[in-house]
Each structure stands twice: as C-alpha cells, then as structure tokens.
Amino acid sequence: MLGGAAAASALAGCGSGTDGDGGPAKSQDPPQAAPPGQPSPSASAAPDPSRSSSGPRPLYLGTYTSAEGGGKGIGIASYDPASGRITGRGTITGVQDPSYLAVHPDGGTLYAVNERERGAVTAVRLSDGKVLGSRPTGGAHTCHLSVHPGGRWLLSADYGSGSVAVHPIDASGALGERTDKVTHRRPAPRSGQQGPHAHQFITAPDGGHVLAVDFGTDTVYSYRLDERAGTLTEVAQAHTRAGAGPRHLTFHPGGRYAYLADEADDTVSVCAYEPSSGRLTIGRPQSTGAKADANYPAQLAVTPDGAHAFLANRGDNTLARYAVEADGARLRLLGTVPVEGDFPRQIALSPDGGLLFAANQRSGTVSVFRVDGADGRLRLAGEPFASPVAVCALPL
C-alpha cells in the first residue's frame, strides 16, 4: 500500500495514457485503420446487438490511443456466449483515448471518454460505426461515463480536474452542449492527494440520485439530477477513512447496498444506501484477498442475481471472489484466481452473468472467465484475447 504523495503519483489511474497506468502493450497489431470517424473494413462484420444471446454478441474495447503500443480507436469484437471466445472485427477510428465506454439503454449508441488534458465525451452510432461528434466536459482527463437510465443524459467524471459533468442526449443519440459541471472542492483534499480526482459518476438504482466517487477527496457525493434541465444539486456526502482513495462504486441489484473499491489503501467496503435521501453510509474496510506488496483494486462487478461479487486486483493480478450475504449487506471473501494478465484495470459481466471479462492494461489482453452460477467459481475460457493497451471491455 502507498500513502501520501507517492500514492497519488503511482495511483493516477485516470491520468493520461502515458502515466503509471500506461506503457507498451504486448499484443497483436491493431486491425487496419479506416479514415477518421469510420469503422475499419472488417467492422461491418460486427454482430447486431439485437440478435439472440445464443449467437455471437458484440464486445467493444477501450484503449489509450496516445500510449506507446496503444490502439487506433475503439476496438470492435464479438464473443461466443457459450465458449467465451472473442473474435476481432475491426476498429472505429477517429476517437482519441477512449479509455472507458458505455452504451445507451436502447443499444443504438456507444459513448466513449476522451481521456486527455482537454476532457471530452464522444458518441458513436453502432449501426454503422459513424462518429456522431464530441463535446468538451470542461474538465481534464475524462476517465468515466455512464448513461442515465432514462436515456436523456450522459454523466461523466474528470480525474484531472476533480469535476463531473452532464450532457444532454438527443433522439439520434448525439450529444448536446454541457448543461452542468461541478468541481469537488469540499472537503479539501489532504496535502498528499494532489487535489480532487473524480473517478466515477453513476446513477443509483432508484434513478432519483446520481453518485460521484472522488479519489482525491476520499468522498462519494450524492446529487439530485433535474431531469428537465440537466442540472445537479448536492444532497449528501459520504467519507471514507483518510487516504483510502475510493475509485469505483457498484450497486447490488436490490438497490439498498453498494460496494466500494478503495484504490489507495487496498480495501473494499460495503455501503448502505438510502433511496429517499440519496445518502450513502460507508462500512468498515475489508480485505481484497491480495498477497502482493503493492495492489490497487480497480472495480467490482456483481452477478445479476446478486449472489456473488468480483474484484479486479491490479498489482496482485488476481480476481477476488465474494459471496454476497444478508440480501446484500455482507461480503464474504471466498478466494482469488489469477487473472492471466497484467494490471486488470476494468472488469465486466456479460448481460446474463455467465461470463466475466477482464481488461488487462499492461499485458494488452482481455481475459474471459466462465462464471459458475451456483458458487461463483471462475474458470478461464481459453487464451486471453490480444488487444492493445486494453483498459475497458464492454460486452453487450
């Protein structure tokens, strides 16, 4: 574990693609690039998201285009729901540093951050891979985004500036000009945390509140989103212990509990959530199961039935497995398995919960695991898929 200035420097997980999280990928050459804003020649083979889950399903891959050995844009692939096998389909070019991805609830539009000094968010039409345009967030190094369940608002987090932003989404899926931006100034960051660093911005299951996780202020902020104006009103703050460095929050399907990955002090916490007020109460820190001297937990994923949770351990290069008990109120560590890659920055479950995808940044690979529905055990599904500087895998 690291603390103070050393932690802030080493753990700048949403800084530029050339910081401590970056580095050359050990992967295959990217598919041949197409003219900016268009998919590569093979991209037309990407499967239709509306197809039955029994056939190939779409998979989109985020990367750092500015990193040495990085990708050329958003990777397009498909996966077999039965075997977990990934097949590359091409690249959507014209999108800079798309390090995090999200899809519109109607499945028609993909959204990507542009994790650069001048932060931005980009919309891509999935039917033909056309880039619909980008909008500035007003912050720096945009590292996370999500779509409000109503489909009308895009939420984004800027790591470099410690700010969160809201953009409207029109009927075509394209983005409008920013309607609000909030910079996290209170509580003041400790001297070693080098300012606020917003790492995530999501909607709570009740739909009435949106929550922002800030690594630099050790705080999760709750806001009420005005769904007509796209503006934010802060309603609550939840504070971790000093220096925990919260990174990602994942809700249990029941909506009353959530799980927080604390990057700086290598812990996870169970949080109670009150839908009526938007207030989050952070519980005691728990083990990540990591054995490595330096480990930085990245993200948790919870199975659709709420029975198990998984955590990506960067440094230890493992996936921790938890049993979820007491209707979401408890996590019980069951053990860890090797991720078969280096520095798993992000994980995601397939929609049915049958597969888990881990994007391994430093090895430039995506590992796929079958998830046992009975006990949550993970079994590697074939050789990891080579993808340049893989930092996000989004299975649909």
* Residues 166-181: tens digit of each pLDDT: 999 999 999 999 999 9
Q: Tokens at residue 320, please?
A: 């921790």
Per-residue pLDDT at 8 exceeds 90: no
* Residues 150-170: tens digit of each pLDDT: 999 999 999 999 999 999 999
Indicate the burial class of 78 (C-beta count within 10 angstroms; 0-12, 13-18, 19 or more).
buried
Mean pLDDT across the stretch 106-112? 98
- What's the confidence (pLDDT) of residue 27? 31
- What's the confidence (pLDDT) of residue 18? 31
Residue 279 CA to chain centroid, in angstroms?
22
Per-residue pLDDT at 266 exceeds 60: yes
* Residues 14-56: tens digit of each pLDDT: 333 333 343 333 233 333 334 334 454 334 334 444 444 579 9
Helix (H, G, I), strand (E, B) or coil at 167: strand
Per-residue pLDDT at 237 exceeds 70: yes
Q: How confident is the model at residue 192 (pLDDT cuts 50, 70, 90)?
A: low
User: Are the CB atoms for 345 and 300 separated by under 8 Å?
Assistant: no
- What's the confidence (pLDDT) of residue 193? 73
383 Cβ partners below 8 Å, 6+ apart? none
Length in residues, the chain: 396
In 3D, which of 94, 176, 75 has the Cα closest to residue 391? Answer: 75
Query: What value does the mean pLDDT of the chain take?
Result: 89
First-residue to last-residue Cα distance in the chain: 35
Per-residue pLDDT at 82 exceeds 70: yes
- Its pTM stands at 0.89
Q: Give one DSSP letter per residue of 82-129, joined into a string.
A: TT--EEEEEEEES------EEE-TTSSEEEEEE-SSS-EEEEEETTTT
Per-residue pLDDT at 10 exceeds 50: no
Indicate the burial class of 6 (C-beta count within 10 angstroms; 0-12, 13-18, 19 or more).
exposed
